[in-house]
Amino acid sequence: MIERPLLLVDVDGVLNPLGASLPGFTPHECVVDGQVYRVQLNTAHGPALLRLAEETGAELVWATTWEHAANEWIGPRIGLPELPVIEMPLPGLPGGPPPSGYGEMFKTPHVAAYVGGRPFVWFDDHTWEPDEAYLRDRPGIGEFLLVRVDARAGLTEADLAGAREWLSARQG
């Protein structure tokens, strides 16, 4: 049985653009562990991600430091169901990643451990060449596409189209 590819989704900088308010985005206040966060979300993102997953046979997964709070505060506001979560303890905390020497973002080892050999697309605003190198050099990591979302604009149709094209080319 061939496992479904994964669509990994970050929140801040991807679904919640950083900086000025943008047309189509609505501000929200979320309280996580007593901390108030102000986010701006676009209700078109949820249906667009669901459509991409359905068209490509992929599984949506949260890849964000919001972790399980994304299912409570972000998903319902943009029309996403509860999604699996890649847990991402911050560096220096128990379960956090050790330094690797690649210079990758702290999330990347957690993503590598989660995806196994499944192909995946990762929407994030902080993935760079060291993250690609880290993933390429890990045994058992399947094909992947890192979509570097512009944190000022958030997830765009062009980002989704690139992921759709990449995933469709692998459908057999």
- Between strands 35-41 and 6-9, the pairing is unpaired
**pLDDT at position 1:** 47
pLDDT in tens, the chain (172 residues): 468 999 999 999 999 999 888 999 999 999 999 999 999 999 999 999 999 999 999 999 999 999 999 999 999 999 999 999 999 877 665 555 555 555 678 899 999 999 989 999 999 999 999 999 999 999 999 999 999 999 999 999 999 999 999 999 987 6
Mean pLDDT value across the chain? 91
Question: Is residue 15 classed as helix, strand or coil in its secondary structure?
Answer: coil
**81 CB contacts (<8 Å, ≥6 apart)?**
75
**pLDDT at position 170:** 86
Question: Is residue 120 classed as helix, strand or coil in its secondary structure?
Answer: strand
Architecture of domain 6-169: 3-Layer(aba) Sandwich (3.40)
